Amino acid sequence: MLELSQVTKLYNEGQPGELAAVREVSLSIATGQVTVLEGPSGSGKTTLLTIVGCLTRPTQGRVALHGQPLSGLPEQHLARVRRQTFGFAFQRFNLIAGLSVLHNVMLPAYPLAQPHPQLLARARDVLAELKIAHREATRVELLSGGEMQRTAIARALINDPAILIADEPTANLDAALTLQFLDIMATLKARGKTIVMSSHDPRITRAALVDRVVTLADGRIVAEAAGA
């Protein structure tokens, strides 16, 4: 459903510090599958995830969703596709301190401008599903690590995206929280979500729910394997 063809991403293009973070990567991501990008730090995982999620445009190559090319779309149109298609859970959660759990979760929905009562109901449904509803009024900096993680996942799901993107989701998480994360992902997979994660954590790369592990080195795909 999501197809990358010969994608290259240069940082500092044409400048002395030019660097190819992703090099000629072709990858197709099937609907409903769990794909993990693994590789050492600096191998291009985060950059590739931002291209998959249309947060970054590739310097060269094409990205297509359901056969529709996205690379050439004007920014406004691309932003709409991005909001409606992808949910993002970043490394270290990127929650906004000073705002409540509820407000953090609703943030990605504001640009879609749905009626407020509907959005509030939706946010509360997602919080309940992630077992964090009792914390809706708490400022996020006061949460435990597990609660932050569930809040970040709730925020990624607020627009009911078909594709969930998670960048090193278990970095700095203990064993129990990693299992909790995997349980949540398994539930989402069972519901038909497509999941793309980066990780060099064997607890993730060898997890039963993973369909495919793609190994990056120096911006290129160097191996691909079926999941455990």
Q: Is 53 in the site for ligand ADP (CB under 6 A)?
A: no
90 interface partner picked from ligand ADP, Mg ion, none, CB below 5 to 8 A per type? none
Q: Helices 145-157 and 116-129: crossing angle, nearest 10°? A: 130
Residue 185 φ/ψ region, left for φ over 0, alpha for ψ in the -120 to 50 degree band, beta for the rest:
alpha
Task: Quickly count: other Cβ atoms within 10 Å of residue 96's Cβ.
Answer: 14
Which of Mg ion, ligand ADP, none does 32 bind, CB closer than 5 to 8 A by kind?
Answer: none
Distance CA(89)–CA(3), nearest Å, equals 21
Residue from 42, 73, 125, 139 binding ligand ADP (CB under 6 A): 42
Binding span for Mg ion by CB under 5 A among 21-29, 42-50, 51-59, 72-80: 42-50
Q: Dihedral of the CA atoms 152, 130, 110, 32 (nearest 10)?
A: 80
Shortest Å distance, C-beta 149 to ligand ADP = 19
- CA-nearest of 31, 20, 16, 85 to 58 is 20
Indicate whether 11 belongs to the interface with ligand ADP (CB under 6 A).
yes
| Of 35, 43, 46, 56, the one binding Mg ion by CB under 5 A | 46
If contact means CB under 5 to 8 A according to the sort of partner, which of ligand ADP, Mg ion, none does residue 42 touch?
Answer: ligand ADP
Which residues would be at the binding site for ligand ADP (CB under 6 A)?
Answer: 11-12, 19, 21, 39, 41-47
